Structure 1
């Protein structure tokens, strides 16, 4: 035989939700069988979830995963199932694919390379497998081969590269699979979402199919699995350098199954064309991440301090899009049921109704707040259907200020106490908005962005307060242009006032004409500096020499901005350590838990910054 009906399944899993995870896999197998599939491949660590973290280090957790696998065996009659699982052998844990054929486990394939960059810390949990090595593993009394194995079905040979295995250039297992003349290579993955990453994956899959003379299949996990990392559920198939299959990414479904017919005798295929839009990727990923975080945390909604500015307005729109997109894909009833929030539509516009129930916004005015930002916040909230409250914090600010003035024996002034007087306004807002979140059993959404995280332009225990910080991994320059895109492309007319305003903290008196970029530097420049300093890990001098050539701006001013960036970056690591959990959405972020670790105490680049003065 030279044909094989293949299914590829992505699943939205959750660590410790054993029954739910298993059910997603079983339902996917049932659907694959209904579609006539003879083999189905699931993503990496699909049994337990990739985001299990230090649970992998325990003895009981991998053992429980094996028990789940044993339960799954009964559902594999007349089909071959490949599914990801951790396996402990003595004091080492291996990241494996288990292959079950017609209710019999026929082998385990172990991952050979660990992901150790960016958001990945796999060496903390897993041991890489030696290529070519095969042992016997005791699976509840059965001796099963485990290691570097290839398989055959219907006269068709297939093997595996597990996620990171495929990104190791000349070292990757694909070359050895080519030597073993496999016809199909499966790449089961837990590859985090990042804007623009799908293009890289498509190129990998297409290039691999040509390089190894094999049909190459990629299958990724789906959803916000455990809090920070998002999986887009991408399914790709390529042959002879051409993309043949690609699914819709970032689905609200529990699982997706896509099928294709592998036919050895078929020599030519019509290539598939795909489209990529970074703005659309952002809103799709953030919407799904918010929905999964909401339902998996068993919360009843969101509370947002809506200032009328860019950041909080972005988050409000993302919540609205979460509801709109979720109901559109799942249907109103299924979406509501899956959310776990009691709700009965009373009108013919359940999207607006549901947003009104789950999203409560509040404008908290200080003496320095403007009527324009109030109008901006109110207009946006009303246009999307969110609840809108407003109050003044002047009495609270005055009370705090008078108490400290009495204690220290002097009046505070903007000349001597600028930061103190700015911060107390932001901090005074925090207790009351937390009260509202508690009353509503809701998640408090923090509004920090990555650019502000870089330089500490945020008040700790003020605007940083929150249960989750949806856009903390996204730069402000991107946010500003995305809002304009959303107003036009997503037709959010309520963003018109937001997009007309200059970004400002509104914490100094109005006559100061405070703006964020005046306090810091142009947001477009922060993006360029952080790209080199944080993403590429360049020294201050390297950053200067590169940007001097790239930007052609005044060299003296460029040095001032670079010194300011590195000084503020070093000084504010403690703030980044305390920010609310954030979603990884871009190619890099500044969260020390997931991407960039930096010492809280340091020499603040003093010697390195002095070097700039010699150029």
Structure 2
């Protein structure tokens, strides 16, 4: 006896209940007719998309979801469908899933473990389920689980106790670096706990700061991955499960190889940009191209995400812009085939200085004059955005965002920040990776000392520790929450550590006003960083 399960690794849209429902019905029919599947799994909270956040509280969403679920029940025939949805009960909302077939609800399950850490705050919205559900599909008893349920032992063990021979887990598990290995390690723990194989389906696509990378997989009772879908690719994949001696045994099939760290991060950036732009309906994007590594990487990502015809690059030189920057920016635009404009900010900058001269009288030039240049550029980019409808992509990296090495209402002005969670050192790694695919970034961009070019002979190292020192300190503080003493014990100078942490604290107000950006680390500025703006805390 064999059971064929289809894994629908789909890119859904939060809030588009009608569109998501249509995809469920069409995909179920395809899984039945093309793959011959008896059961098809859809991701967590399929109907409303994940994460829906406070949309869950809106009465209109409740009505749409209830209507959509009834439509799925009525219109899916000849195949069992496991679909995720928010269940509105009198006592509250549940993160739920139903298995339906031929007009009947075979089983309904409520998620038991609600994550409430990092980017997750499900306890704000959902009540906790209390009971296991096992459903017989094609003679195989399938235990139902939702995402976080598999991260703790109790739900899987309860499903086994209820008679499950196979665990089916639907997920909305967002990407971060090296997270696929962690997912598979957790599932392996559950396999060891229960002795049951696991079919793990993950969501795909970008949603605001989050990217869901797919990577759905099947693990046998020995803890071996016997099938894995390619990450960052939509598809419907067939899984065959044999019933041998009353045990479910998944058949080995294609196992997509893991991506390198650089390839996986780059793929996440491309998917995040593509979905943010397309799901918002923007015709394209505009980017300030400086001749430096950050804007070079951002431009490459944008072109790979959207195509050259939807990307516009603008060089905005001042008296401090080097000839090398002008040449390298023009060359990269040529290599990528994007429209490239050069608009000098010199007249704007001079006019602003002349207008402010009476107010600035008696004061020496400082960062104020540098910020004026950045804000001139922000004004031009936003004007192009307003006139063309193209969204501005900002080009700041995580190192800069952490210490405030960015200009509010200047280079921070824009709609989306693709590399906001990429440290400066990672930016260089990603740029070299992209050049290994095809050389789109001039080599000089990656070899020259980084500079904002806002004053004569300026280098980033004039204001910041070298990135080889800065980035590890930031990672220890931001991702690992280490104290000054603990970071110093790792071999860093106390004065440098204290200075860096003070800059991070002092610039929280800037980060709160920054555009959203793609999360690729275990802790990004945004959903999973909630430090106070006003704080008397002294880092020690």
**Residue aligning to 2:442:** 495
SS of aligned partner of 1:313: helix
Q: Which 4+ residue blocks in structure 1 deviate beyond 3 angstroms?
A: 266-273
Q: Name the CA distance, whole Å, in 2 between partners of 1:389 and 1:486.
A: 24
1:247 to 225, 229, 239: 229
Match of 1:478 among 423, 426, 434: 426
The Cα shift of 1:273 comes to: 6.9
- In the TM superposition, what whole-angstrom CA distance separates every residue of 1:119-139 from its partner, at most 9, and x where no partner exists? 111111111122x3xxxxxxx
Question: Partner of 2:388 in structure 1?
Answer: 440
Paired residues for 1:188-203 under 5 Å:
188-203=170-185
* Contact 2:38–2:137 (Cα < 8 Å) also in 1: no
Contact (CA 8 Å) 1:59, 1:88: kept in 2 or not?
Answer: no
Post-superposition shift, 1:270?
Answer: 5.0
Question: 1:390 and 2:338 equivalent?
Answer: no
Distance 1:157 1:108 in 2: 15
8 Å CA contact 2:133, 2:159 repeated in 1: no
Match of 1:263 among 214, 222, 242: 242
Which deviates further from its counterpart, 19-28 or 311-320?
19-28
Aligned to 2:354: 402
Provide TM-score, normalisation by structure 1. 0.84
Looking at structure 1, the residues matched to 302 and 249 of structure 2 have their Cα atoms a distance apart, in angstroms, of 47
Whole-angstrom distance in 1 between the partners of 2:250 and 2:464: 56
**Aligned counterpart in structure 1 of residue 478 of structure 2, from 534, 554, 562:** 534
Measured in 1, the distance between the counterparts of 2:117 and 2:461 equals 32
> Deviations 1:311-350 (Å, cap 9, x if unpaired)?
1100111022224xxxxxxxxxxxxxxxxxxxxxxxxxxx
1:397-423 deviations in Å (ceiling 9; x for gaps)? 121122222135x15433xxx111211
Q: Helix, strand or coil: the match of 1:50?
A: coil
Q: Deviations over 1:501-545 (max 9, x none)?
A: 2111111213xxx22133111223223222221212222222222
Deviation sequence 1:380-403 (CA, Å, 0-9, x none): 011000111112212211211222
For residues 268 and 120 of structure 1, the distance between their equivalents in structure 2, rounded to whole angstroms, comes to 32
Query: C-alpha distance in 1, partners of 2:190/2:10?
Result: 24
Give the Cα separation in 1 of the matches to 2:41 and 2:441: 45
Distance 1:268 1:17, change over 3 A: closer
1:438 Cα offset (Å) = 1.8
> Is 1:92 matched up with 2:92?
yes
Structure 2 residue matching 1:187: 3-state secondary structure: strand
CA contact under 8 A between 1:405 and 1:412: conserved in structure 2?
A: no
2:509 counterpart SS class = helix
Instruction: Indicate the residue corresponding to 1:177 in structure 2.
Output: 159
Looking at structure 2, the residues matched to 412 and 81 of structure 1 have their Cα atoms a distance apart, in angstroms, of 71
Deviation at 1:246, TM superposition (A): 0.8
Are residue 236 (structure 1) and residue 235 (structure 2) matched?
no
Q: CA deviation at 1:73?
A: 1.4
Cα offset, 1:3, TM superposition:
2.0
Residue 277, structure 1, aligned to residue 260, structure 2 = yes
Q: Secondary structure at the match of 2:83?
A: strand
The CA distance in 2 between the partners of 1:231 and 1:499, in whole Å, is: 30
Residue 598, structure 1, aligned to residue 528, structure 2:
no
Of the candidates 447, 450, 460, which is equivalent to residue 516 of structure 1?
460
Question: TM-score when scaled to structure 2?
Answer: 0.95
Taking the TM superposition and a 5 Å limit, the aligned residue runs for 1:74-85 are 74-85=74-85
Which secondary structure state, in structure 2, belongs to the residue aligned with residue 250 of structure 1? coil
- Please state how far the C-alpha of 1:491 moved relative to its aligned partner: 1.5
In 1, distance between residues paired with 2:3 and 2:312? 52
After TM superposition, give the deviation of residue 205 of structure 1 in Å: 3.1
Aligned to 1:141: none
Task: Give the equivalent residue in structure 2 for 1:33.
Answer: 32
1:466 matched to which residue of 2?
414
What stretches of structure 1 of length at least 5 have no aligned partner? 133-147, 324-353, 610-615
Q: Secondary structure at the match of 1:389?
A: strand
Number of equivalent positions? 534
Gaps of 5+ in 2: none
**SS of residue matched to 2:28:** helix
Q: Hey, what's the Cα distance between the residues in 1 that align with 2:314 and 2:228? A: 42
